[in-house]
Structure 1
Amino acid sequence: MNNAEVVNEAIRNRRSIFTGIFSGEKVDNAIIERMLQNANWAPTHKLTEPWRFVVFEGDGLKKLAKFQSELYKTRAESNGNFNEATFDKLAAKPLECSHIIAIGMKRHSVVPEVEEICSTACAVQNMLLTASAYGIGCYWSTGGITFYEEAKPFFGLEEEDKLLGFLFIGTMKSDKWPEGKRKGIEDKVRWVR
């Protein structure tokens, strides 16, 4: 298989694999390191390299679970809309993972913010493709506390930075890789000739 075919297959075989089919077995840190190294090769205007990652594993997952569930509770109780099921989910979901990577975007004023967000998203796509290549379950979530301003310091981010979500990572229970589903490109592309 030539390089173009390898890339085409890697892109078309990437899947979001959710925690419900994680086995609980730990992913080798060497794979996590490779994901992070590949993320570092994303396109970046003016070489700002805006991506920032915090990797949680082992007891770190417990710290993340406690932080996000307590932050949710504090906010929700002050607004009068606390939901016990949401609290429980935020406290439990990280413990289903081998690793969680918090995705941050460090703001640089030399380029428009949208370019920094897009660049960080490209870094995440590199991690998703790497995880798929190793047969590792992985998905990007922007739920929970992602858009809470007061969460930023926990992840080493400043006011002008963005928390863009979390990669949930785990070993799959089965070696059966899910089939992909996409509509054709006909309604999504317009050629101007």
Structure 2
Amino acid sequence: MLNEDDFPSNPDESTPKLDALSLRLAAANALIRRRRTIKPADMTLKSVANLHLATILENAKWAPTHGMTEPWRFFVFTGDSRQRLADFLQETYRRLTPEDEVRPDKLEKLGSQPLQAPVVIAIGMKRQPGAKIPEIEEIEAVACAVQNMHLTASAIGLAGAWLTPPIVYSDEMRDWLGLEPGDLCLGLFYLGWPKSEEWPETARSDLADKIVFHR
């Protein structure tokens, strides 16, 4: 039977206190595990506020960067410029692909995807003069920047998808973006509001067989 000793004299004393570390960790865990790839076909054309876009790009620059080279470059396509991007992708695919290997479905997708999202960001990697930092480390830095973008988009409630059709790695794509020899385009990041009100569910496999501890 319960008696008065089972109840705290001050109800607040029975409420667990979350310290700042616990709160930060809980927020980080939730955000990282919320991130999803949501394809352009599952986005609406509702515009993305400039403030949201600016925040996403601002957070990108806080990725780790060896030597503080900050190799990321972002080419933002909105409005009518998305059609120019789509036209370029289709034209370049036709030009680089042998005629008997052109796939109509792939050609159609290259032309339609940029028009399915209100924002498309071409991801560039800029090499530094002298190339002191290995290329792979610059690519890794840009990948971290894109993850920052995707996490920020998820926090806002925006859908995001980093897509890499082979054509984006071509010299033609690099030149069209205004990058230089030695630089790279690393894909297209699509950004928009999701059509569905239900955030997609997903899962990851057990981590146990992917970790080797040395003691």
Q: Where does 1:34-45 land on structure 2 (aligned, <5 Å)?
A: 34-45=55-66
In 1, distance between residues paired with 2:82 and 2:51?
A: 18
Alpha carbons 1:24, 1:170 under 8 Å: kept: yes
Larger radius of gyration: 2
Q: In 2, Cα distance between the equivalents of 1:56 and 1:121?
A: 19
Residue type matched to 2:108 in 1? D
SS across alignment from 2:29: helix
Shift of 1:4: 1.4
Alignment of 1:114-193 (within 5 A): 114-193=136-215
Query: What TM-score do the two structures reach when normalised by structure 2?
Result: 0.85
CA deviation profile, 1:57-78 (whole Å, cap 9, x unmatched): 001101100111111111124x
**Matched-pair contact (CA < 8 Å) for 1:16–1:138:** yes
| Percent identity over paired residues | 42
Greater relative CO, 1 or 2 (CA 8 Å, sep 6+):
1
Across the aligned residues of Structure 1 and Structure 2, the Cα RMSD in angstroms comes to 1.3
Q: Does the 8 Å contact 2:37/2:161 carry over to 1? A: yes
1:88 paired to 2:101: no
**Is 1:13–1:180's contact at 8 Å kept on the other side of the alignment?**
no
Q: Which moved more, 1:84-93 or 1:164-173?
A: 84-93
Q: TM-score, normalised by structure 1?
A: 0.95
Deviation >4 Å, runs of 4+: none
Is there any run of 5+ residues in structure 2 with no aligned partner, and where? 1-21
2:44 is equivalent to residue 18 of structure 1: no
Contact (CA 8 Å) 1:14, 1:129: kept in 2 or not?
yes
Q: What letter corresponds to residue 25 of structure 2 in structure 1? A: A
5+ residue gaps, structure 1: none
Aligned residues between the structures: 192
